[in-house]
Amino acid sequence: MTYRSEIDGLRAIAVLAVIAYHADDRILPTGYLGVDIFFVISGFLITGLLVNDLRNGNFSFAKFYERRARRILPVLFVVLAATVPFAYWLMLPSQLAEFGQGLLATLLFSSNILFWSNTGYFMADAELNPLLHMWSLAVEEQFYLIFPVLVLIGWKLPRKIGVAGLLALLVASLATCLWLVDASPSANFYLLGSRAWELLVGAAAALLVGRAARVPDLAAHGIAVAGLAVMVYSLVGLDTFVSTPSLATMPLVFATAAVVLFARGPVAGVLSLRPLVGVGLISYGAYLWHVPVLVFARLWDATPASPARLAGLVGLSLALATITYFLVERPFRRRGGEAVVSLGRLLVVLPAGAVALGAVAVVIMTAPLRGDDSVAGPDQMIEAKIATNYGLHEDCEWAFTLSPNCRTSDHPRVLLWGDSFAMHLAPALSVGTGWDGMIQHTKSVCAPVPGLAVVTAEYPETWAEGCIAFNEEVLAWLEDQPSIRYVVASSPFGMIHHNLLQRSGEILDSGQADAVRQSMIDTTRQLEAQGKTLVYVSPPPVTGENLGQCLATVLRNDQPHDTCDFLREDAHPANDTIFEFLRSTEPDVRVLYLDRLICPDGLCDTMIGTTFMFRDAGHLSIEGSTYLGTDKNFYEEVRRVADR
């Protein structure tokens, strides 16, 4: 195929968007859509190569997969090898074990399946996974394993039948995607079945190159300009919470194909600017390097990254990509029909590298790499401090249950109700309620706001229906519980910014704070009629940073204990929005504000003595919650608010 510099320009746009998103998602909230651009380009180029070889009569599977191996594996192995010592040095034992799983899955081109199977509300923080981005590489490699066979079959069939087969696959994958948007958003995001249509759009474009060349320049310019405009809008103007892939991302996918087909004149000139082409040439290495660089920097330095630091890390990623481009990528590729690294050496180096990295992955996953008498003890202590806070028991996380594990008394006086932000209050309540006793009814991502539930890309309408049913089950049970005197409910209340499903089945557009407020007021009155007092507890003040990881880094690196502390006035702006909303519900609703307990003098202590107050970016740790119960008399604060 003839080299087209404008395609490298598109690669540059895609990789820079992804890097900006991973560096700080506030820079480009939908920058992750750069991956969708990559998929279209990959489908276009691979199909072009296959069709060219078939047309010239020199196609072979061995030749195809040799080219793929030369393109993908050498720099991948270098990046993976470079991550191992940093992972061993900087990660906690559980993080290191997950890294080993990710390393092995990457080598087997199945990391997308691994990360899909591990998704969940309390899964490890994506910002601390140096190999999470390898999922997209797995999708492409799975596509490359299947697609050449299908192209060869289609090539031997009459052209119309072959093209119809391609379109049928595209439509089937798109239909799978649109079904999974609601049925399983994580599967939709990670798996080939719902991603293949993006690659197949690129493949279809490759079959239309001849016809596109016959389109008059003026029309081609218009199409290319419109396509580029749609691409830019998709990267900067789409809703932050858009499902991907989905109907909302279809314009980006087809616009990318349009630009690839019709980029001539001014559009081709812009995309062929030397800085863009330069970044495009190193885009594969930049994609591989940037996530480990950013993750290990976060694990090394607990302080929030400044713009200068982020710029430096991005610069380092591009520098490493440039080095590996010249020293690794180019020597392994074919140039002028020959390769700098011969096929014989390739057949030795790549399998040896794969075996070595695979062995390292297995050792990391199975062996106690750190001696119990040195690093393991402190690390395990730190992990206990940031362990998931399910409340009384993990049995209380997902569904209504009367399990003994979710109560401290057969006749409890206190009900704890809500989502994970209610769960994290259980230790504080359980040490304070004493003989009064408590019971926990909680469900992750299900605010204690009856008749309403949030609808997002990750938690679709089916999830919202389950949440509404859960809250109705709690209220129905509560009617027959005369021992319950206080109901303590909590949530981050971010639902005021999202679409909401109503009990009637109608979906309200985002920004329906009034509906949430009214439900809280109605529920307060409903429980008062039963002789019960409802107290809503605010989320804790946070900064947007992972405070639990910050504290872990501080302790591991012997940094000052106040490194992660922050002023209440410097809390994340979203925090203030939620607190303003809660204040707007008073006096009809009783609210206990956690910032008064955590930041009594305007300074929010994240570590008190050796006690971690937080376990992640928003939740209290088990010991932090216990501290609120023992030292801040949390239950007495609840009763004070209830009785006022």
pLDDT for residue 237: 87
Each residue's pLDDT tens digit, 570-607: 998 888 999 999 999 999 999 999 999 999 999 999 99
- Mean pLDDT rounded to a whole number for the chain: 92
Asked, as a colleague might, if the bond just before 245 is cis with ω within 30 of 0, I would say yes
pLDDT band at 342 (very low <50, low <70, confident <90, very high): low
Region of poorest pLDDT, from 370-384, 431-445, 451-465, 616-630: 370-384
Architecture of the domain spanning 394-643: 3-Layer(aba) Sandwich (3.40)
Q: Which of 454, 523, 466 is nearest to 489 (CA)?
A: 523
| Greatest Cα-to-Cα distance within the chain, rounded to the nearest angstrom | 86
pLDDT for residue 371: 47
Q: Which residues contact 266 (CB under 8 A, 6 or more apart)?
A: 221, 225
pLDDT for residue 377: 64
Phi, psi of 408 (to 5 degrees): -115, 0
In the chain, the percentage of residues whose pLDDT exceeds 90 is: 77
- In this structure, what token pair is assigned to residue 535? 């107290």
- The amino acid present at 234, given as its one-letter code, is S
Q: Is 612 helix (H, G, I), strand (E, B) or coil?
A: strand
105 and 132 in contact (C-beta within 8 Å)?
Answer: no
pLDDT for residue 100: 92
pLDDT for residue 304: 80
pLDDT for residue 336: 47
Each residue's pLDDT tens digit, 578-587: 999 999 999 9
Please state, in angstroms and as integers, the Cα–Cα distance from residue 287 to each residue in 186, 309, 639, following that order. 21, 19, 53
For residues 151 and 35, what is the distance between their CA atoms, to the nearest angstrom? 24
For residues 392 and 607, what is the distance between their CA atoms, to the nearest angstrom? 23
pLDDT for residue 367: 65
HSE (side-chain half, CA atoms, 13 Å) at 262 = 22
For the chain, the structural domain boundaries read 5-366, 394-643
For residues 150 and 165, what is the distance between their CA atoms, to the nearest angstrom? 9
pLDDT for residue 433: 72
pLDDT for residue 326: 95
CA 486 to chain centre: 37
Each residue's pLDDT tens digit, 122-181: 555 778 899 999 999 999 999 999 999 999 999 999 999 999 999 999 999 999 999 998
Does residue 199 register a pLDDT over 60?
Answer: yes
pLDDT for residue 337: 47
599 and 576 in contact (C-beta within 8 Å)?
Answer: no
- Residue 573 CB: number of other CB atoms within 10 A? 7
Better-predicted residue by pLDDT, 492 or 556: 492
Q: Could you tell me where the beta strands, DSSP code E, fall in 419-539?
A: 438-442, 452-455, 486-490, 499-502, 507-508, 533-537
- In this structure, what token pair is assigned to residue 178? 């649109």
For residues 122 and 119, what is the distance between their CA atoms, to the nearest angstrom? 8
Better-predicted residue by pLDDT, 562 or 1: 562
Q: Is 258 helix (H, G, I), strand (E, B) or coil?
A: helix
pTM, two decimals, is 0.89
For residues 408 and 437, what is the distance between their CA atoms, to the nearest angstrom? 5
For residues 330 and 493, what is the distance between their CA atoms, to the nearest angstrom? 52
pLDDT for residue 187: 93
The per-residue b/e assignment along 12-39, b for 16 or more CB within 10 angstroms, e otherwise, is bbbbbbbbbbbbbeeebbbbbbbbbbbb
Q: Which residues contact 426 (CB under 8 A, 6 or more apart)?
A: 389, 390, 391, 392, 396, 416, 438, 440, 625
Element at 335 (helix H, strand E): strand 334-335
For residues 130 and 530, what is the distance between their CA atoms, to the nearest angstrom? 52
Each residue's pLDDT tens digit, 367-409: 655 544 444 468 888 999 999 999 999 999 999 999 999 999 9
Each residue's pLDDT tens digit, 269-281: 999 999 999 999 9
pLDDT for residue 596: 94
First-last CA distance in the chain: 77
210 and 48 in contact (C-beta within 8 Å)?
Answer: no
- DSSP string of 393-410, one letter each residue: -GGGSSS----GGGBS-S
Each residue's pLDDT tens digit, 280-298: 999 999 999 999 999 999 9
Q: Which residues contact 218 (CB under 8 A, 6 or more apart)?
A: none
- The amino acid present at 522, given as its one-letter code, is D
Q: Which residues contact 316 (CB under 8 A, 6 or more apart)?
A: 293
